[in-house]
Amino acid sequence: MPAADDLLLASNQALHRAFTQNKAAYPRQSTYIQEQTTFFQTPARGDSDPPARRLTIGTDCSGMEAPLQALANMKIPHDHLFSCDYDPFVQSTIRANFAPRTLFEDVLTRDNRKTPAVDVYVAGFPCQPFSVGGKQQGFADEKGRGIIFWSIREYIDLKRPKIFGMAVCTSQNQSLIEVSSEHGIGFHPTMASIPRSVRGSAGGCL
């Protein structure tokens, strides 16, 4: 197992990369040292609520809620504002173990304008339409799974989370969403539909 010091170093490096990418999208004079204690405690963009004291997070296609488990394991204080999953058994598991303030049942029918803004947004939309293990029907998936991406894109566009992450596997292990170094983010042409100012806030594949 990694030593505690190694985990702390990796966590700090990840926070610094997120700050660097966010600052590229929202230029300002302050440095990471000046903002490190408040960067994840300010209100999410697009939200007019008073300053939050804890990191806020929301997930779509929430499944087993790996992001929430990771935050808990790292002992990062956070408020779980919402989850969303279509499967009733998954919904029951989420209610029993994570208790989000709001549990949406369908990302396709939800009004994203009324969905809470968060600091961190993670969405693991279905990989089957894009995977070499499936029919590779993409956005034209006959079961309607491919279009879930567009609801997720709409949320990111409307709420502008400080950090967003998406998970999807495609053929030959290529990512639909590609992340480069701390100096910037590269995207598949589909991801280019997300406004550059949002893409620059910090996002990528998991």
Structurally, how many domains does the chain consist of?
1
Q: What is the pLDDT of residue 164?
A: 86
Q: What is the pLDDT of residue 95?
A: 93
Q: What is the pLDDT of residue 42?
A: 53
Count Cβ atoms below 10 Å from residue 134 Cβ, excluding itself: 17
What DSSP character marks residue 99?
-
Distance, in Å, from the CA atom of 151 to the CA atom of 137, rounded to the nearest integer, reads: 18
Instruction: Provide the residue type at 101 as one letter.
Output: R
Q: What is the pLDDT of residue 43?
A: 52
Q: What is the pLDDT of residue 198?
A: 42
Q: What is the pLDDT of residue 167?
A: 66
What is the domain-level CATH number for residue 198?
3.40.50
Q: What is the pLDDT of residue 88?
A: 94
Distance, in Å, from the CA atom of 150 to the CA atom of 63, rounded to the nearest integer, reads: 19
Domain limits for position 52: 4-205
Low-confidence ranges of the chain (pLDDT < 50): 44-49, 51-52, 172-206
Q: What is the pLDDT of residue 52?
A: 45
Residue 145 CB contacts under 8 Å (≥ 6 apart), including other chains: 125, 126, 128, 129
Q: Number of helices (H) and strands (E) in the chain: give both, helices first.
A: 6, 6
Which residue, among 185, 189, 188, 205, has the nearest Cα to 197 in the 3D structure?
185
Q: What is the pLDDT of residue 83?
A: 96
Q: What is the pLDDT of residue 109?
A: 93
